[in-house]
Structure 1
């Protein structure tokens, strides 16, 4: 499981979990102003044109100069990555962007979050291994994580 503690600026921390990467992506996208493909996508310049009903060539170059420029610069079938929260709106690049990095950037855009990719790290954070949850100023975030871990029977409720 993946455990998340959202830390909205000036707001109350909120903890939640996802069963796996697919569930995590779905939950992040459900409350994000951007579409799933804007949050993270891997495509090619040829595929972008195909979505618009075109193939590379002169008519497409005139009608879709930005996509045609991507194809000319990187090749029509080169994988291109998009992650608007990470790279900027509508930016495609050749260097791989992991879906996890793109989703973490989406959560950061909302004010920040602590993401624990497994139970061991989440329990460790609750026990003080993550300074973002340690100490008196962060007690609400730590308490939110505790409540989530108890609800999932990861920790016993000894209170």
Structure 2
């Protein structure tokens, strides 16, 4: 399991879990205000033009979409281009690889004042006694502990 504790600008910290990395990414995508392809995408200049109903390297495409054609000229029409708006800026494409996980974590970081991610049951359990951020915030500790109890990783107090 993966556990996330969010510290919003206003209100109490809250915690949630994901079964595995793919579930974490899915939950971030569906709760974000941006489209999935704005958070993370890999596409070629040719594919971008095809999505717009244009053929790569034509006068028509160059007249209407010079920026996309510039990407095709500079990097090749079939080179993978990475988009991750929260990391790179709105609508920026680059050839240097960006991981989907990093792009989604950047989306999470943008929507909350701060956050903590624990990538396993043992990390989350240990955080209750060793992470100063959790130890020093009653509501954060309570929220994380509540998730661990709900998922039967820890026993509840009777």
Shared fold (TM-score greater than 0.5)? yes
Partner of 1:89: 90
User: Is the aligned partner of 1:114 residue 2:99?
Assistant: no
Q: Distance between the aligned counterparts of 1:67 and 1:36, measured in 2?
A: 20
Provide TM-score, normalisation by structure 1.
0.91
Alpha-carbon offset, residue 48 of structure 1: 1.0
Cα RMSD of the aligned pairs, angstroms, is: 1.4
Deviations 1:119-144 (A, max 9, x none): 2221122222x332132xx2211111
Partner of 1:8: 8
User: Stretches of 4+ moved more than 6 A in 1?
Assistant: none
Alpha-carbon offset, residue 158 of structure 1: 2.9
Partner of 1:54: 54
Q: Distance between the aligned counterparts of 2:126 and 2:75, measured in 1?
A: 43
Provide TM-score, normalisation by structure 2.
0.91
Partner of 2:127: 125
* Number of equivalenced pairs: 156
Alpha-carbon offset, residue 10 of structure 1: 2.5
Q: Distance between the aligned counterparts of 1:139 and 1:131, measured in 2?
A: 11
Q: Distance between the aligned counterparts of 1:121 and 1:2, measured in 2?
A: 9
Aligned ranges 1:1-159 → 2 under 5 Å: 1-57=1-57, 58-111=59-112, 112-128=114-130, 130-135=131-136, 138-158=137-157
Moved more, 16-25 or 27-36: 16-25
Q: Distance between the aligned counterparts of 2:63 and 2:45, measured in 1?
A: 15
Q: Distance between the aligned counterparts of 2:135 and 2:73, measured in 1?
A: 51
- Unaligned 5+ residue runs, structure 2? none
